[in-house]
Structure 1
Amino acid sequence: MSDYLSGSLRRLRPYTPGEQPQDRTYIKLNTNESPYPPSPGVLDALNRQEAADLRLYSDPEAGELKAALAARYGVGLENVFVSNGSDEALNFAFLAYATDGRGVAFADITYGFYPVFAGLYDIPVHTVPLREDFRLAVEDYLGLHQTVVIANPNAPTGLALTRAEVEQVVQGNPDAVVVIDEAYVDFGGESAVELTGRYPNLLVVQTFSKSRSLAGARLGYAIGPAELIADLERIKYATNPYNVNRLTLRAGTQALADRAYFEENCRQIMQTRAYTARRLEELGFSCTDSRANFLFARHPHLSGQAVYQGLKERGVLVRHFDGARIVDYNRITVGTRDQMEILLQRLEELL
């Protein structure tokens, strides 16, 4: 870092994305990308004319995509915020609702960007430990008087709260905003979107990266009460009004239209997840009850690092974390059935 970097930023610990090695061809099961391409409609929509129009700025209001999202979820345009990946919506939520000294509360094992956002804005953090079985206990999140951020399903554990449990958290923190990060909700979780019309303090964030195969497009959105959405829009127009590019807006609108393709891909991933979990358990692994597009697994006789390294040497990438409570686990993205068969074969070799 340079000598000119501001003092508070010198202490910042940036987010570490999943590795993207270029030294060889790997089966990538480490970054929770979809194994399936975007829908045929998306591919058709990204044509030469759309590319030619890149000379023009994108629509700062994201009107077409907002209308499609509003129709999909049965909310008003004023209840939808469109962002450059769901990370931007989360970033704005931390800035909007936790920089006034009240602080933010989130789990000790959860999405790694939360502590980064807190560090970026020098926000006091209340870390809430998950239970021994990695369960998030609702009673630990009541009456905190702090902004609450919950990934549901959680990452990297894959465990999920029910909609009723989320509602308990929202009701238990009437003086603070509750942010529910639903990046993985389409793989078997219960969305809290329908609760946003009943509670003024609930913001739900989702993404096109996982279930709609658009990780490289960087597209996310938030749904919530009009007042909360206006807060996020205020920050957007103070930083980057053209936050989402033209091609991404077009791709997102078409991805929503191709609902049957989306639903079939989710079904396939959930089916493959269940199959792979059974096979892993036959090999001696234990897995959490994941409701995401990944599995969280450990073996009693091999360290998490040994599994990660052994698979990498055999051409398969999974994600290993070095946190004390999860050091023996690996997060394994659910790929195609063929990819998972290769994973299982490589694990048999390793064992």
Structure 2
Amino acid sequence: MTFLNEKFQELTPYTPGEQVNEEAFIKLNTNESPYPPAQGVQEAVAEASKKLNRYSDIAVEAVAKPLAEYLGIQQNQLFLGNGSDEVLSYIFQGFTEKGIAFPDVTYGFYQVYSGLYQVDATVVPLEDDFSLELSKYDDLDGTVIFANPNAPTGIYLTQEKICDFLERHPDRLVVVDEAYIDFSGESMVSVIDQYKNLFVVGTFSKSRQLAGARLGFGVGNADLIADMNRLRFSLNPYNINSMTQAAGSAVLQEQDYVDQKVQETIQVREWSKRELAKLGFEQTDSQGNFLFAKHPKLSGEELFTALREKKILARWFNQPRTKEHLRITVGTQEQMERLVEALKMILEEVEA
């Protein structure tokens, strides 16, 4: 017997990456930053914990003002959410009346939210090399959403190509999910004033070391943001808790630290690409804080299992187009060196 509404009984929920004891495992499976937040962020959270008897600021002013300044936008162009997942959920809930389209290999929550909110979703295959061809979306209706760089492939689509699509379809909402943009190219936020049909989603989880705090944001024209807030105030106006607000405010004062860790991640990513290539891995040119790789001598599942036995976690997606690949988060230099050594041992065992 179930009391769940019948329309949700076949819903397939999102499957998050495995959480483990990090003293026992090298955790390269959930695209978190391997670096802790700056000391100032940790201190700000501790101070905020003393005032948990009070509700948090609904306007989230301590984050909204400095973030808007950093992004070069007005505060009425900014929406703040409990992680970027909440921002995305409002998009699927309120802005997909004519349906939504997204790639077949991308962030898994797009499919989940389509089911949860009963949205008519069109799944568009990526090219054979996993690149995104926006012309395939020209003859469709409704909202378009894609991650840039994409996940799990890491492939980046240029601003020029996205702008061309926005201009071809001024009456369709285009959502660009930029969770990994700080590790790659130019953000679409820089052209937000030019396109009323553009909505850009960002997060503090990856480059700003705040995955556990749950803080995300969206950038769009003022009318779109007002509509987003109409949904938020109808569901959860206190969506950003006090400690997260303190963390978000503090990390925006630690941009030098953030930039340093981003550059370290990029350097380690490129080193890791070269080392995996030496071992015979085939890879996309990932521009995120992760690699997307496969090896001709081992299936994705075999490689995932062999690494786990050596106490290294990667992410394996058991889907037709991705089942031979692993998505490997870029850790510290030391962690990635240990990964490479483990891979050498695994491949030597296969060849023996």
- Selected match of 1:325 from 311, 321, 336: 321
Aligned residue type for 1:219: L
In structure 1, distance between residues paired with 2:253 and 2:23 = 36
Counterpart residue number, 2:16:
17
Post-superposition offset of 1:24:
7.1
- Selected match of 1:159 from 130, 155, 171: 155
Tell me if the contact between 2:95 and 2:143 (Cα under 8 Å) persists in the aligned partners. Answer: yes
Aligned residue type for 1:41: G
Residue correspondence of structure 1 range 295-334 to structure 2 within 5 A: 295-334=291-330
Post-superposition offset of 1:214:
0.2
Residue correspondence of structure 1 range 98-177 to structure 2 within 5 A: 98=96, 100=97, 102-177=98-173
TM-score for both structures, normalised by structure 1? 0.97
In structure 2, distance between residues paired with 1:189 and 1:115 = 26
Residue correspondence of structure 1 range 329-344 to structure 2 within 5 A: 329-344=325-340
Matched, 1:29 2:28: yes
In structure 1, distance between residues paired with 2:29 and 2:252 = 26
Counterpart residue number, 2:5:
6
Post-superposition offset of 1:146:
1.3
Alpha-carbon spacing, 1:134–1:21, altered in 2? closer, same or farther (3 Å):
same
Q: Which runs of 5+ in 1 are unaligned?
A: none
Deviation digits for residues 164-217 of structure 1 (CA, Å, limit 9, x no counterpart) = 111122222222211000000000122100221111111000000000000000
In structure 2, distance between residues paired with 1:271 and 1:24 = 25
In terms of mean alpha carbon deviation, does 188-197 or 298-307 score higher? 188-197
In structure 1, distance between residues paired with 2:209 and 2:115 = 30
Tell me if the contact between 1:103 and 1:125 (Cα under 8 Å) persists in the aligned partners. Answer: yes
Deviation digits for residues 28-57 of structure 1 (CA, Å, limit 9, x no counterpart) = 00000001111122122123x421101110
Q: Which runs of 5+ in 2 are unaligned?
A: 348-352
In structure 2, distance between residues paired with 1:338 and 1:192 = 33
Matched, 1:50 2:48: yes
Aligned residue type for 2:74: G
Residue correspondence of structure 1 range 52-67 to structure 2 within 5 A: 52-67=50-65
CA RMSD of aligned residues (A): 1.2
Post-superposition offset of 1:61:
0.9
TM-score for both structures, normalised by structure 2? 0.97
Matched, 1:89 2:65: no
In structure 1, distance between residues paired with 2:139 and 2:57 = 40
In structure 1, distance between residues paired with 2:201 and 2:318 = 27
In structure 2, distance between residues paired with 1:152 and 1:230 = 25
Any runs of at least 4 consecutive aligned residues in structure 1 with deviations exceeding 2 A, and if so which?
21-24, 141-145
Post-superposition offset of 1:143:
4.5
Secondary structure, counterpart of 1:106 in structure 2: strand
Tell me if the contact between 1:143 and 1:173 (Cα under 8 Å) persists in the aligned partners. Answer: no
Tell me if the contact between 2:100 and 2:141 (Cα under 8 Å) persists in the aligned partners. Answer: no
In structure 2, distance between residues paired with 1:279 and 1:27 = 18
